[in-house]
């Protein structure tokens, strides 16, 4: 259909809607006539709008059977319809890291699924079948975990380390270490799963201790697991030694928080020629050192060095930290006052744990709050200490220590995004294999984060993964040949932007 201008004998111009679908010109409708040029253009526009409505009416009048035949033909041409977003991007990163050299398709499935749908192995099998069309039994997964533990764990660590080193021109000078705990939904203990101090607040559950070593930027480079009641200070050297032997580093600086600070750790680090930057427990220093610290008159973000044998002790003051310390002390005091008033405090609560240090006994039975001790603590608000045997400038020591937040973030990723715990396995080899899969998944996650930043994308890894969960692929069987054509189903702009950002559809045909 089209709009025609037809001159009349009267001098007027008729605006008509013409149909030529039958091969002949048929006037469907006369919109109007005029000799005014502006009116004629108005009628032409009106005619075009009318064509749109007529076309809709014609399409609705098609034979219903033919319409259903078209739908049936299209549906019959569909060969498969699967979720492919995770494989397209996370699988691409998996390969770029080098994990594809592990010649087990199940390893790939377990790592990518841990990023997309972190659940038990039984539910993982269900997910792979429903969304990927991969049919395997949970017993196949368990058998593979045994193989991974026996043959592939060190190889997976080495692949991850090699890729991380490539990002740093094959030279790591600083590593960051910290520990966390992973609990089990079980009641019985064994030689590995033992109750202890839980960082998850699951003190009644058996747990293990996980020591993690990361590079600058939070890339996981090595880890070890320990018994659930292991003192975290005793985990530092085994992990650092293992990594140092593998990496063959002669000049390695280890950064760790004050929880890893002990006289023995410092002695061992020094004996093995490691450099270290550790958080200092400045309130536990000898009186002579504490007097020097409190005599400092530091302003916001200023720092100074205090004389100490064999080590350097650097003190930094921050106004923001001082406000936080004061706020926390006040809250702790208010909780003690409330419990004291309710009669819930007794002699067993008098210890140096947390804010209980403000409690004291007067006479034989009266428990009171030592307000003088509370006031004395205010002198330390905002002060933070760092002990080191490096020759780095004080500011650089402080800056390196502050990078410990990257390992805290990596732990959050492992616990929240990858849901590494609770762990449902019982056998040690499968526990270790489960953590290895999570380690590899964390590496892929961090690489996604790095590449998004490199590409200057505003997307977070979490958001990118959420988008990937919505990208499906349809495979269509051609009715004219044996060829099959694959197409991504992209229904919104954020899907299209992510696909374009990583050029994910170039291999589709």
Q: What pLDDT is recorded for position 468?
A: 95
> Whole-number mean pLDDT of the chain?
87
Q: Is the pTM of this model over 0.85?
A: no
Residue 2: Cβ within 10 Å count: 11
Q: Are strands 174-183 and 78-83 parallel, antiparallel or unpaired?
A: unpaired
Segment among 33-47, 144-158, 334-348, 426-440 with least mean pLDDT: 334-348
Q: What is the pLDDT of residues 241-278, one digit of tens each?
A: 988 888 776 678 999 998 888 888 888 888 888 999 99
CA distances from 336 to 45, 89, 329, 349, 374 (A): 80, 52, 11, 10, 12
What contacts 24+ positions apart, CB below 8 Å, involve 496-504?
498/89, 498/459, 498/464, 498/467, 498/468, 498/471, 499/88, 499/471, 501/455, 501/457, 502/88, 502/89, 502/92, 502/451, 502/455, 504/88, 504/89, 504/92
Residue 230 has pLDDT above 80, yes or no: yes
Q: What pLDDT is recorded for position 60?
A: 54
For residue 461, name the pLDDT band (cuts at 50, 70, 90).
very high
Q: What pLDDT is recorded for position 335?
A: 87
> How is residue 131 written in tokens?
């969304």
Q: What is the pLDDT of residues 386-438, one digit of tens each?
A: 999 999 999 999 999 998 888 888 888 888 877 888 888 889 999 999 999 99
Q: What pLDDT is recorded for position 126?
A: 92
Residue 197 has pLDDT above 70, yes or no: yes
Q: What is the pLDDT of residues 14-23, one digit of tens each?
A: 999 888 877 7
Q: What pLDDT is recorded for position 387?
A: 94
Q: What pLDDT is recorded for position 62?
A: 53
Q: What pLDDT is recorded for position 177?
A: 92
Contact (CB, 8 A) for 171 and 205 = no
Q: What are phi and psi of 439, to 5 degrees?
A: -60, -45
Residue 379 has pLDDT above 70, yes or no: yes
- Nearest of 69, 52, 39 to residue 1 by alpha carbon: 52
Q: What pLDDT is recorded for position 302?
A: 94
Q: What pLDDT is recorded for position 506?
A: 64
Q: What pLDDT is recorded for position 410?
A: 86
- Nearest of 179, 344, 363, 161 to residue 244 by alpha carbon: 161
For residue 61, name the pLDDT band (cuts at 50, 70, 90).
low
3-state secondary structure (DSSP) of residue 229? coil
Give the rounded percent of residues in the chain with a pLDDT score beyond 70. 94
| Straight-line distance from the first to the last Cα atom of the chain, in angstroms, rounded to the nearest whole number | 36
Q: What is the mean pLDDT of residues 189-196?
A: 90
- Nearest of 84, 78, 79 to residue 470 by alpha carbon: 84
Q: What is the pLDDT of residues 308-351, one digit of tens each?
A: 877 899 999 999 999 999 999 999 889 888 888 887 777 667 66
Q: What are phi and psi of 307, to 5 degrees?
A: -70, 130
Q: What pLDDT is recorded for position 207?
A: 93
- Nearest of 411, 414, 394, 391 to residue 402 by alpha carbon: 394
Segment among 120-134, 235-249, 336-350, 466-480 with least mean pLDDT: 336-350
Looking at mean pLDDT, say which of 63-77, 141-155, 301-315 comes out highest.
141-155
Residue 29 has pLDDT above 90, yes or no: no
């Amino acid at each position: 259909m089209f709009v025609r201008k037809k001159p009349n004998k009267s001098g007027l111009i008729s605006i008509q809607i013409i149909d030529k679908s039958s091969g002949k010109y048929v006037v469907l409708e006369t919109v109007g006539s005029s000799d005014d040029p502006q009116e004629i253009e108005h009628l032409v526009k009106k005619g075009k709008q009318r064509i749109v409505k007529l076309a809709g009416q014609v399409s609705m009048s098609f034979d219903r059977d033919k319409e259903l035949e078209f739908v049936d033909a299209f549906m019959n041409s569909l060969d498969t319809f699967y979720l492919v977003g995770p494989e397209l991007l996370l699988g691409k990163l998996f390969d770029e890291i080098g994990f594809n050299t592990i010649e087990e398709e199940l390893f790939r499935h377990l790592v990518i699924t841990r990023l997309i749908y972190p659940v038990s192995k039984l539910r993982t099998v269900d997910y792979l079948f429903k969304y990927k069309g991969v049919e395997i039994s949970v017993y196949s997964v368990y058998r593979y975990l045994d193989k991974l533990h026996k043959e592939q764990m060190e190889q997976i660590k080495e692949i991850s380390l090699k890729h991380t080193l490539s990002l740093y021109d094959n030279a790591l000078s600083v590593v960051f270490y910290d520990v966390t705990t992973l609990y089990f939904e079980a009641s019985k203990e064994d030689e590995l799963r033992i109750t202890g101090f839980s960082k998850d607040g699951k003190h009644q559950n058996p747990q293990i201790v996980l020591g993690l070593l990361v590079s600058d930027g939070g890339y996981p480079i090595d880890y070890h697991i320990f018994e659930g009641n292991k003192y975290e200070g005793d985990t530092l050297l085994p992990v650092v030694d293992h990594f140092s032997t593998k990496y063959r580093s002669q000049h390695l600086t280890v950064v760790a928080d004050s929880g890893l600070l002990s006289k023995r750790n410092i002695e061992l680090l020094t004996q093995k020629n490691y450099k270290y930057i550790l958080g200092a427990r400045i309130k536990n220093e000898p009186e002579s050192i504490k007097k020097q610290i409190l005599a400092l008159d530091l302003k916001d973000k200023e720092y100074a060095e205090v004389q100490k044998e064999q080590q350097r002790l650097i003190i930094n003051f921050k106004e923001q930290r001082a406000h936080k310390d004061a706020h926390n002390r006040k809250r702790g005091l208010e909780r003690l006052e409330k419990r004291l008033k309710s009669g819930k405090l007794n002699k067993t609560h008098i210890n140096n744990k947390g804010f209980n240090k403000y409690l004291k006994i007067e006479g034989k039975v009266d428990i009171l709050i030592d307000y003088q001790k509370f006031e004395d603590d205010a002198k330390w608000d905002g002060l933070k200490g760092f002990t080191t045997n490096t020759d780095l400038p004080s500011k650089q020591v402080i800056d390196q220590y502050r990078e410990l937040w990257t390992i805290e973030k990596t732990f959050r990723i492992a616990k929240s995004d990858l849901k590494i715990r609770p762990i449902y396995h019982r056998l040690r080899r499968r526990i270790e294999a489960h953590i290895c899969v999570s380690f590899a998944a964390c590496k892929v996650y961090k690489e996604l984060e790095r590449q998004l930043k490199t590409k200057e994308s505003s997307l977070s890894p979490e958001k990118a993964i959420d988008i990937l969960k919505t990208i499906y692929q349809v495979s269509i069987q051609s009715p004219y040949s044996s060829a099959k054509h694959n197409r991504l189903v992209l229904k919104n702009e954020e899907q299209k932007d992510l696909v374009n950002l990583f050029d994910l559809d170039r291999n589709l045909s």
